Chains A and B, each alone.
Chain A
Amino acid sequence: MAEKNNYSPPRGPGRPRRGMVGVGPKLENPGMLIKRLLGYVMKRYGLQYGIVILCIIVSVLCNVQGTMFMRTLIDQYITPMLMDHSHDFSGLNHAILRVASFYALGVCASFLQQQIMIVVTQGTMKSLRKDVFNHMESLPIKYFDTHAHGDIMSVYTNDIDTLRQMISQSIPQFINSGITIISVVACMIVLSIPLTLVTFAMVAVMLFCSRKLAGFSGGYFMKQQQDLGKENGFIEEMLSGQKVVKVFNHEEENIQRFNELNESLYESSNNAHKFANIMMPVNAQLGNISYVIVAIVGGILAITGFSGLTLGELASFLTFNKSFNMPINQISMQINSIVMALAGAGRIFELMDEKPETDEGYVMLVNARIDENGEIHECQERTGTWAWKHYHKDSDTTTYVKQEGNIEFLGVDFGYDSRKIVLHDIKMYAKPGQKIAFVGSTGAGKTTITNLINRFYDIQDGKIRYDGININKIKKADLRRSLGMVLQDTHLFTATVKENIRYGKLDATDEEVYAAARLANADEFIRRLPQGYDTVLRGDGANLSQGQRQLLSIARAAIADPPALILDEATSSIDTRTEKIIQEGMDKLMEGRTTFVIAHRLSTIRNSECIMVLEQGRIIERGSHEELMEKKGRYYQLYTGNLVLS
C-alpha cells in the first residue's frame, strides 16, 4: 500500500470502497486478536456480557429440559395411562405446569439476553468508531500520504461492520451452540449410548462435507472479491472520466471491455454462491438422514429391548438428534464470519497502533498586548498582536517573545523517506512582513518546504526557527494556528457555504464571514447561489467551479486572520483579474505579516520581496524579481518563457 514515489501529494477525493479489502486473510495471531478484542469489549461491557452469557446458559438449559419432558410425557404418563386406562390427569397437569414455568424462564432469559446484547454491541461499535476516529485525527500527515484513502475508509465501512456481526451474533451463537452441544450430548448419553454413537458418526460426515464445501466456496469467494475489485476499479475509472468518454465516442469500446470483466465476475460469483448455497441443503438433508437412521436403529432397539430403550426415550432422542445438528451447522457457519471479522479487527487495531503525531512542544501562542514600556502582557481577547509564551523549566520563569513572523531555515535536509533526501541544505530567512515566493518545476520541493514550516513533516537535519524559537519547541497546534494555509487542493466540507468559511474561525459572526468572502471576492458568486450563504455544499463542493472553490478556501483562511500565511497554488484556477482583486485584499490583510507563496503563474509572485528558485531540492537562485531578471539565470529563463516548466 505504500506509495512507490517518495513524494506523494494529497490525493483527490477518496474513492468509494472497492469490495472487501483483503479477503481470505492469513491471520497473524488469531489468539492475540481475540484476546485483545474481547478485552476491548469486556473493559466496557464486562458485566453486561457476563449477564448475557448467563442468560444464554439459562435459556439453553430450559430448552433442553423441555425436550427431556417428551420422555416423561410418553413414558411416565401416556404409556402407563394407556395401560391402566386411568383418567387422572393431575400428575400430567403438574408436569406441564413445571415445564411451562421453565419455558417462561427461558423466554425471559432470551429476552434479557437480546436487549442487553444490543447495548453491548452498539455501545462497542460506538466507542470503537470514536476511538478509531480520534486516533486517526491524531495521526501524522505521513500516514495519510502513505496509505490509500480507500483502505482507511474500508476500516470504517467494512471492518467495523463485520466486527459488529461477530460481537452481536457469532460470539453469542458460539456460546449458545457450545452449551447446547454439551448439554444435548449429556442428555443423549443418558438416554442411549448406541444411538449417541450413531449420531456422532453422522455429525462427522456432516462436518467433513461442510469443510470441503466451505473450502471450495472460500476459494471462489476470494476470486469473486478480486473480480469485483477489478470491475469496480474499471467502473470507477470510466465513470469518473465519463465526460471524456463521451467526447471521444468511446462508449462501444468501453461496453466491450466492461462486458469481459462482467462475465468473469459472473463466473466467480456464480461459483462462490453455488457452493455456499449447497451447504445448507446438504447439511439439512444429512441431518434428515441422521434422523432417519437413528429412527431405524432406535426402533429396532426399542422392539428388541436390547439396551432397555423405551418409546419415550426414543422420541426424546429424536428431538435431540435434530437439535444437535442445528448448533453444529451454526458453528461451521460462524467460523467463516469469525475469521473475516478477526481479519477486520486486525486492520482496526493496526490503525489504532499507528504512532500518533508526537508533540513535545511547550511554547504557546497567546494573544498579547504591548504596554508603553514595550513589555508584553498576555491577554484573553484578540488584539491582532501575538506572543510566544515560553516557559523555562530550569529557572521556572516564563518569557514572552513577540510573534513577528521571522522564519529561518538553517541547513535543512529532508526526505519523505530517510534514505532519499529531497531537500538539501536549505537556508532561508523570511523577515516579518515579507512575501517569500517559491518557484520551480513539479517535484522541485516547493510544497515540501511549506510542509516543514507547519511540521506536517519533521526535518532530518538542520534547524527551523520561528521568531528565534526552534519550531520543535512550539506546540504543534499553536504553530499551525499561527500559519494560515490555503492549499492547492481546496477540500470543502459537506455543510453550508457559511459554515465552510467559518471553519477558519469557529466563533466568527455572520458579518465576519461576509467580510472574509468579500475580501476573497467570493461574495458575489455566493449570493448568486440558490440559497446564498446557506447553500449546502456536497461532495467537496462538486457543484462549484474549481476557481470558486479556491475563492472559498481563501475566504476560509482570511477569516482566521493568521499571523503568517502560506499560499500553495492558491489562485491557480482563478482568472488574473479576479486574482488581482484578491491579492490587493490579501496584501492589506497580511500587511506586516509574513507570507509564503507558491505559484505557477509568475505574474502572481512578481511583487514578492524574495523569490527562491528551487531545483531538485536545492535553492539555486534567490532575490527580488528585478535582481533575478538582472542575473539572467534560471528565473529569467522561466519568466521569459524559454524553459519548460512542467
Chain B
Amino acid sequence: MIKILSAQVGEYKKASFATPVFMILEVIMEMLIPLMMASIIDDGVEKGDINHIIMIGIVMVIAAAFGLFCGIMGGVFGAKASAGFAKNLRKTMFEKIQTFSFSNIDRFSSASLITRMTTDVTNLQNAYQMILRMCFRAPLSLICAMAMSFYVNVRLASVYLVAVVILGCILVFIVMNAMKYFTQMFRKYDDLNSSVQENVTAIRVVKAFVREEHEKNLFERACDGLYRIACKAERIVAINAPVMMMAIYSCILLISWLGAKMIIQNTLTTGELMMLLTYCMNILMNLMMLSLVFVMLSMSQASGERICEVLTEEPDIVNPENPVYEVTDGGIIFDHVTFRYNENSEKPVLNDINLVIQPGETIGIIGGTGSSKSSLVNLVSRLYDVTEGSLKVGGRDVREYDIETIRNEVSVVLQKNVLFSGTILDNLRWGDKDATEEECIRACKLACADEFIEKLPDGYHTYIEQGGSNVSGGQKQRLCIARALLKHPKILILDDSTSAVDTATDARIRKAFRDEIPETTKLIIAQRISSVQDSDRILVLENGEINGLGTHEELMKENEIYRDVYRSQNRDISSEKGGMNDGREE
C-alpha cells in the first residue's frame, strides 16, 4: 500500500523532502535555546556579567528567528507537498476510473467510487501532511532533547529515559486498545449515516406506511449502540492526558529533588537544572505527539486501503495488442455466446446464444423483466466480455478491435441514461465533438427532439441541469437518441430508449431511422410490441435464451410468449377503431 501511495507524490518529491529537513532544522534551533538559557543564568546572572547576557541573548534571538524561518518554510513546503499529493491521487484515480470497464464499475458502485475520491483522499492529504511535519520532527525533537539532557547530566537524564520507556509502553497499550473500538465505532457511524440518508430519500415511503415510530426506534437503537462503543473508545484514549500529566509531574519532582541535592554538592548548576526541566516538557510532549500521529495514521489506513483498491484494480477490458481500427460493416454474429456477470454465479445470464444479424437489418428484442435483454446488447459494443463463445461484428471478434473504434461504431442508448450539466448542444456533441450546429439539428430531427427543442426559450442553447432534471423523461430519451446518432454508427442499439415517448412519436423516430439511415444495423429493445412490430425480425428472449425469432406475423403464429405480450397490450383491439399501434404507418 505504501509503495503504491508514495508513487503518487510525483513532482512534489522535492517539497516532501524539504518539509522534514526544515522541520529538523527548526527542532535544532529550538533545542539550542534552553542550552543558551542555562548559560545566561549560570555565566550571566550568577556571575553578574551583563555583557554575556546580552551577547547570548542576541544569539538566542537569531536562533529563534532562524527557527521561525525554518518553521515557516516547513509549513509552506508541507502544505505544498500534501496538497500536491492529494491532487496527484485524485488525478490518478480519476484517470484510472476512466479506464474501468462496466464490470469494474459495477464491482465498486458509483457511490463508493465517489466517496473514495472525495472523503478518503482528504483523509490521506491530512495524514500525509502530518507525516511530513511530525513524523520526523517529533522523534528527532525527542532524541535531541534526550541527548542534550544526557550531555548536561547523565544521572538526571536517565530519569527521563525510564519515564519515556514506561510512558511509551502505556501509550502503545492505550492506542492498540482504542483502535479496536475506533474501527467498530467508524463502522457503526457509517451505518448510522446511511440509515439517515435512507430516511431522507425514502421519506415518502416512511410516511405512507406510517413508519415514523418504527424508524425512530431503529435509529434510537443505532444511536445507543454508537454511544456505547464511542464511550468505550474515548474512555481509553482519555487516560492519555492524566497519564501524561503524571509522568511530567513525577519527572519534575524527581529532577527537582535530585537536582537540588546535586547543586548543593556542586555537581550541577541552577541553570542546568532549569534546562533539564525545560527538556522534560519537550521530551514527553513529543512522545505524546508521536502517539497522536500513530492514531491518525491507523485511522487513515482504511482510507488508504480503499484508495489502493481503486488504483490496483485491473480494468478487465483492455485493448488488444494489434487492434483493428476499422469496422467493415454492421453485421453481428453471436456464436455460442454464454455470459455471466460473475464467474462464480451458477446460472449464466445468457446461455448459448446463436444469432446472425445482417448489416442494415432492424432487430426488435422483446422479453420479460430480467430476461437479459440489456446484457445481450451490452456485449456488442464490448461493454462486457463474453464468458464463452465469440461475438463478431463486421466479421471479426469484438475483442480484436480498438475499444474506442468499436464503441464509436456501435452506438448504445442505455436504459439508465444520463444527460450532463451543460447546454443541449454540449450534450449532443458528446456524440461528435466537432459536430456543427446543423449536424446536431439534423440528428435531433431524426430523433424527433427538434420539435420540443425549438419551443424552448433558448432553443439548442438551453442549459440542461445535472442529470437532465429540467426536461421530461420522454424529452431526455429523445436527446439521448440524438446524441447517439451523432456518432454516425454502423450499429445503433436502443435499450428501451423510447419507453417514455408516446407511440406516435416513437413510430416517427423508427420511420426516420428506416428512411435516413437504412445501412445502419439497428437493435431495438422495447416493452411495447408496437415499437418492434415493424422490425425485420424480432427476437424473443426468455431467461437468457432465445425463445423465438421471426417477423411479427411468424411470431404471432408460433410463439406463445410473443402472443401473450401482444394480447396483454391489445386486449380488445378488434372491438375498437383505433388500436395502440395505429400510429405505426404514417
Do the beta carbons of B75 and A274 come within 8 Å of each other? yes
Q: How far is the CB of B275 from chain A (nearest CB, A)?
A: 11
Most A-side CB within 10 Å, residue of B94, B230, B246, B414: B94
Do the beta carbons of A578 and B369 come within 8 Å of each other? yes
How does the 8 Å CB contact mask read for B234-249 relative to A, with 1 for contact and 0 for none? 1100110110011001
**Chain A: CB-nearest residue to B195:** A494
Do the beta carbons of B253 and A103 come within 8 Å of each other? yes
Residue A27, interface by CB 8 Å: no
CA distance A302 to B46 in the complex (A): 9
Do the beta carbons of A117 and B238 come within 8 Å of each other? yes
Do the beta carbons of A636 and B578 come within 8 Å of each other? yes
Do the beta carbons of B241 and A243 come within 8 Å of each other? no
Tell me whether chain A's interface is mostly helix, strand or loop, or mixed.
Answer: helix
Q: How far is the CB of A447 from chain B (nearest CB, A)?
A: 10
Q: Which residues of A contact B196 (CB under 8 A)?
A: 133, 153, 156
CA distance A620 to B216 in the complex (A): 43
Q: How far is the CB of B79 from chain A (nearest CB, A)?
A: 4
Tell me whether chain B's interface is mostly helix, strand or loop, or mixed.
Answer: helix
Residue A269, interface by CB 8 Å: yes
Q: Which residues of B contact A248 (CB under 8 A)?
A: 407, 430-431, 483, 487
CA distance A20 to B430 in the complex (A): 32
Given A16-B111, A278-B72, are A442 and B472 also a contact pair (CB < 8 Å)?
A: yes
Other contacts beyond A100-B253, A304-B50, A319-B277: 10, CB < 8 A? A156-B196, A242-B100, A262-B91, A266-B84, A274-B79, A311-B46, A442-B472, A504-B209, A603-B580, A641-B504
**Chain A: CB-nearest residue to B202:** A491
Q: Which residues of A contact B574 (CB under 8 A)?
A: none
Q: Within the complex, which residue of B203, B246, B407 is in contact with A249, where a contact is CB–CB below 8 Å?
A: B407
Residue B48, interface by CB 8 Å: yes
CA distance A376 to B84 in the complex (A): 76
Do the beta carbons of A542 and B578 come within 8 Å of each other? no
How does the 8 Å CB contact mask read for B359-374 relative to A, with 1 for contact and 0 for none? 0000000011110000
Q: Which residues of A contact B501 (CB under 8 A)?
A: 646
Interface residues of B in 254-288 (CB under 8 A from A): 256-257, 260-261, 263-264, 270, 274, 277-278, 281
**Chain B: CB-nearest residue to A72:** B256
Given A239-B97, A280-B75, A578-B369, are A646 and B500 also a contact pair (CB < 8 Å)?
A: yes
Do the beta carbons of A13 and B201 come within 8 Å of each other? yes
Q: Which residues of B contact A184 (CB under 8 A)?
A: none
How does the 8 Å CB contact mask read for B32-51 relative to A, with 1 for contact and 0 for none? 01000100110011101110
Do the beta carbons of A115 and B235 come within 8 Å of each other? yes
Residue A254, interface by CB 8 Å: yes
Do the beta carbons of B230 and A122 come within 8 Å of each other? yes
Given A99-B253, A296-B54, A646-B501, are A243 and B368 also a contact pair (CB < 8 Å)?
A: no
CA distance A156 to B194 in the complex (A): 10
Residue B532, interface by CB 8 Å: no
**Chain B: CB-nearest residue to A476:** B210
Stretch in A37-45, A416-424, A479-487, A510-518 with 4+ CB within 8 Å of B? A479-487
Residue A194, interface by CB 8 Å: no
| Closest A-B pairs by Cβ, 5 of them | A281-B71, A646-B474, A277-B75, A547-B369, A641-B583
Do the beta carbons of A126 and B109 come within 8 Å of each other? no
Q: Which residues of B contact A399 (CB under 8 A)?
A: none
Q: How far is the CB of A176 from chain B (nearest CB, A)?
A: 11
Given A12-B467, A247-B407, A273-B78, are A144 and B64 also a contact pair (CB < 8 Å)?
A: no
The range of chain B's interface size is 35 or more
Q: Which residues of A contact B568 (CB under 8 A)?
A: 576-577, 579-580, 603
CA distance A245 to B264 in the complex (A): 81
Q: Which residues of A contact B215 (CB under 8 A)?
A: 137
Q: Which residues of B contact A236 (CB under 8 A)?
A: 114
Q: Which residues of B contact A130 (CB under 8 A)?
A: 216, 219-220, 223
Given A14-B200, A66-B249, are A577 and B561 also a contact pair (CB < 8 Å)?
A: yes
Q: How far is the CB of A57 from chain B (nearest CB, A)?
A: 15
Q: Which residues of B contact A642 (CB under 8 A)?
A: 504, 583
Interface residues of A in 312-344 (CB under 8 A from B): 314-315, 318-319, 322
Residue A536, interface by CB 8 Å: no
Q: Which residues of B contact A456 (CB under 8 A)?
A: 204, 207
Q: Which residues of B contact A103 (CB under 8 A)?
A: 245-246, 249, 253
Residue B420, interface by CB 8 Å: yes
Q: How far is the CB of A9 from chain B (nearest CB, A)?
A: 9
Q: Which residues of B contact A542 (CB under 8 A)?
A: 109, 111
Q: How far is the CB of B409 from chain A (nearest CB, A)?
A: 11
Q: Which residues of A contact B347 (CB under 8 A)?
A: 528
Q: Which residues of B contact A16 (CB under 8 A)?
A: 111, 114-115, 118-119
**Chain A: CB-nearest residue to B205:** A491
Do the beta carbons of A138 and B212 come within 8 Å of each other? yes
Q: How far is the CB of B136 from chain A (nearest CB, A)?
A: 15
Residue B535, interface by CB 8 Å: no
Q: Which residues of A contact B192 (CB under 8 A)?
A: 129, 156
Do the beta carbons of A540 and B430 come within 8 Å of each other? no
Q: How far is the CB of A537 from chain B (nearest CB, A)?
A: 11
Do the beta carbons of A487 and B204 come within 8 Å of each other? yes
Q: How far is the CB of B341 from chain A (nearest CB, A)?
A: 10
Do the beta carbons of B216 and A274 come within 8 Å of each other? no
CA distance A640 to B570 in the complex (A): 12
CA distance A477 to B163 in the complex (A): 65
Q: Which residues of A contact B582 (CB under 8 A)?
A: 640-641
Residue B326, interface by CB 8 Å: no
Q: Within the complex, which residue of B83, B209, B246, B472 is in contact with A270, where a contact is CB–CB below 8 Å?
A: B83
Do the beta carbons of A232 and B110 come within 8 Å of each other? no
CA distance A105 to B537 in the complex (A): 91
Do the beta carbons of A107 and B91 come within 8 Å of each other? no
How does the 8 Å CB contact mask read for B65-76 relative to A, with 1 for contact and 0 for none? 101101110111
CA distance A5 to B102 in the complex (A): 35
Number of A-B contacts (CB under 8 A): 463
Q: How far is the CB of A48 from chain B (nearest CB, A)?
A: 13
Given A242-B110, A311-B270, are A576 and B76 also a contact pair (CB < 8 Å)?
A: no
CA distance A278 to B80 in the complex (A): 12
Q: How far is the CB of A372 from chain B (nearest CB, A)?
A: 33
Do the beta carbons of B201 and A11 come within 8 Å of each other? yes
Residue B300, interface by CB 8 Å: no
Given A245-B98, A277-B78, A483-B208, are A282 and B369 also a contact pair (CB < 8 Å)?
A: no
Do the beta carbons of A249 and B408 come within 8 Å of each other? yes
How does the 8 Å CB contact mask read for A552-586 relative to B, with 1 for contact and 0 for none? 00001000100000000000111111111000000
CA distance A93 to B54 in the complex (A): 36
CA distance A600 to B214 in the complex (A): 33
Do the beta carbons of A239 and B113 come within 8 Å of each other? yes
Q: Within the complex, which residue of B26, B204, B487, B565 is in contact with A141, where a contact is CB–CB below 8 Å?
A: B204
Stretch in A285-293, A377-385, A405-413 with 4+ CB within 8 Å of B? A285-293
Do the beta carbons of A487 and B205 come within 8 Å of each other? yes
Do the beta carbons of B102 and A299 come within 8 Å of each other? no
How does the 8 Å CB contact mask read for A450-493 relative to B, with 1 for contact and 0 for none? 00001010000000000000000000010011011101010101
Given A299-B44, A576-B527, A643-B502, are A281 and B26 also a contact pair (CB < 8 Å)?
A: yes
Do the beta carbons of B368 and A577 come within 8 Å of each other? yes
Interface residues of A in 215-235 (CB under 8 A from B): 228, 231-233, 235
Interface residues of A in 140-161 (CB under 8 A from B): 141, 144, 149, 152-153, 156-157
Residue B482, interface by CB 8 Å: no
Q: How far is the CB of B45 from chain A (nearest CB, A)?
A: 5
CA distance A456 to B33 in the complex (A): 71
Residue B30, interface by CB 8 Å: yes
Q: How far is the CB of B11 from chain A (nearest CB, A)?
A: 11
CA distance A133 to B220 in the complex (A): 9
Q: Which residues of A contact B78 (CB under 8 A)?
A: 273, 277
How does the 8 Å CB contact mask read for A155-180 relative to B, with 1 for contact and 0 for none? 01100000000000000000000000
Residue B146, interface by CB 8 Å: no
Do the beta carbons of B418 and A156 come within 8 Å of each other? no
Q: Which residues of B contact A34 (CB under 8 A)?
A: none
Given A292-B57, A575-B368, are A118 and B68 also a contact pair (CB < 8 Å)?
A: no
